């Protein structure tokens, strides 16, 4: 059971694990260069129960079925917010969870929102399987034009059998109710419909899911509301509040989550910093990298999710 939950990295405590196994990040952009491609298959051969036989079978096949490309959701004017969120989650599911051990899109959390949105557009074009941090970026992109829907990162650190596991979803708030969008191997650790009255209710829903897998929830990190401006040069605030939930009483947790909810409301309406006039792609860096970019394993100093 310990090898089946999503793992994430964070500064100073990164496990560099995808379900208990070290994983790689594709840093060379798309299409995947030969070195990254071959490394991915070697990794698959190591981590899969059937090892090299499976890799050879797939790579040698000439009649593999064509994989359908999911369509980005579109809506009628009468489509409600809950229905739109469900359609977005359905699209994220259709991309499927990435079990290869190589994350296809490099997500640097310190990049400005506009650069992360460029990567989200690339996800919709390539339609490749994704992990939980990629799903959060994609969900932000797909909800940018939904007025009245506020979005915030919500990450979890859990403990099971001597190991720590990490996961992240995108919290959503609209019409006085909370919910979540995301990607996970576990059905109850991603989408939550827009029906939770308070942030505490939403957090406790996830906590109950973790208990179902015999995981103890140790820590949650909650960010601020994310700008709806896809050209914003703001950075996402990933951890406005860091709560050691295993050391807090329910009342203490309730008060802290109420405080965080007030803090998020205060951000609404604050003007964002102006976008620079110069070419953003040159100044911020493109998500695409040259074929000679170095490929390396994740260092403990970097933050990686899933």
Calpha distance 12→253 (Å, rounded): 24
Which residues form the domain of 82? Answer: 72-100+109-266
pLDDT band at 65 (very low <50, low <70, confident <90, very high): confident
Residue 25 lies in a domain: no
Residue 297 lies in a domain: no
Residue 261 lies in a domain: yes
The pLDDT of residue 273: 53
Token pair, residue 192, equals: 């939550």
For β-strands 102-103 and 24-25, DSSP reports them as parallel
Calpha distance 14→304 (Å, rounded): 8
Long-range contacts of 176-182 (CB under 8 A, 24+ apart): 178/202, 179/82, 179/85, 180/154, 180/206, 181/85, 181/88, 181/89, 181/92, 181/135, 181/136, 181/139, 181/143, 182/92, 182/132, 182/135, 182/136, 182/139
Residue 51 lies in a domain: no
Calpha distance 173→148 (Å, rounded): 8
Calpha distance 117→130 (Å, rounded): 15
DSSP-based three-state secondary structure for 171? strand
CA 4 distance to own-chain centroid: 17
DSSP for residue 97: B
Residue 89 lies in a domain: yes
Domain count, the chain: 1
**Has residue 177 got a pLDDT over 60?**
yes
- Express as a percent the part of the chain with pLDDT over 90: 64
Residue 204 lies in a domain: yes
- Closest residue by Cα to residue 272 from 236, 229, 240, 223: 229
- Closest residue by Cα to residue 287 from 111, 137, 49, 130: 111
The answer to whether the beta carbons of residues 45 and 30 sit under 8 Å apart is: no
Residue 49 lies in a domain: no
The pLDDT of residue 61: 85
Q: Which residues contact 257 (CB under 8 A, 6 or more apart)?
A: 198, 199, 200, 203, 222, 243
Cis peptide before 193 (omega within 30 of 0): no
pLDDT band at 271 (very low <50, low <70, confident <90, very high): low
**Strand ranges of the sheet holding 177-181, from the earlier edge strand across to the other edge:** 192-196, 177-181, 163-174, 150-160, 216-222, 241-243
Residue 10 lies in a domain: no
Q: Which residues contact 228 (CB under 8 A, 6 or more apart)?
A: 144, 145, 147
The pLDDT of residue 2: 33
**Has residue 207 got a pLDDT over 80?**
yes
Calpha distance 212→56 (Å, rounded): 37
**Has residue 5 got a pLDDT over 70?**
no
Q: Which residues are annotated as catalytic?
A: 132, 167, 184
Calpha distance 130→124 (Å, rounded): 11
């Amino acid at each position: 059971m310990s090898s089946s939950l999503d793992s994430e990295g964070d500064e100073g405590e990164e496990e560099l694990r995808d379900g208990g196994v070290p994983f790689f990040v594709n840093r060379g952009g798309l299409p995947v260069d030969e070195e990254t491609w071959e490394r991915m298959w070697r990794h698959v051969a190591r981590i899969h129960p059937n090892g090299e036989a499976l890799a050879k079978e797939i790579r040698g096949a000439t009649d593999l079925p064509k994989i359908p490309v999911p369509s980005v959701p579109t809506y009628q004017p009468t489509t409600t917010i809950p229905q739109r969120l469900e359609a977005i989650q359905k699209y994220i599911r259709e991309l499927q969870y990435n079990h290869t051990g190589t994350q296809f899109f490099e997500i640097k959390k310190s990049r400005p929102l506009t650069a992360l949105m460029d990567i989200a557009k690339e996800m919709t074009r390539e339609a490749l399987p994704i992990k939980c941090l990629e799903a959060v970026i994609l969900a932000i992109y797909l909800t940018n034009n939904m007025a009245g829907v506020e979005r915030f990162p919500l990450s979890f650190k859990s403990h099971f059998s001597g190991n720590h596991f990490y996961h992240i979803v995108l919290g959503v708030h609209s019409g006085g109710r909370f919910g979540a969008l995301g990607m996970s191997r576990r059905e109850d650790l991603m989408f939550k419909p827009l029906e939770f009255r308070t942030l505490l209710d939403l957090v406790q829903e996830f906590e109950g899911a973790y208990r179902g897998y015999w995981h103890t929830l140790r820590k949650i990190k909650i960010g601020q509301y994310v700008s709806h401006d896809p050209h914003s040069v703001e950075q996402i605030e990933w951890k406005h509040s860091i709560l050691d939930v295993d050391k807090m009483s329910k009342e203490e947790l309730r008060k802290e989550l109420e405080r965080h909810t007030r803090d998020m409301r205060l951000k609404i309406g604050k003007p964002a910093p102006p976008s620079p006039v110069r070419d953003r792609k040159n100044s911020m860096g493109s998500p695409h990298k040259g074929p000679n970019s170095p490929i390396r394993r994740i260092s403990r100093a970097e933050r990686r999710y899933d």
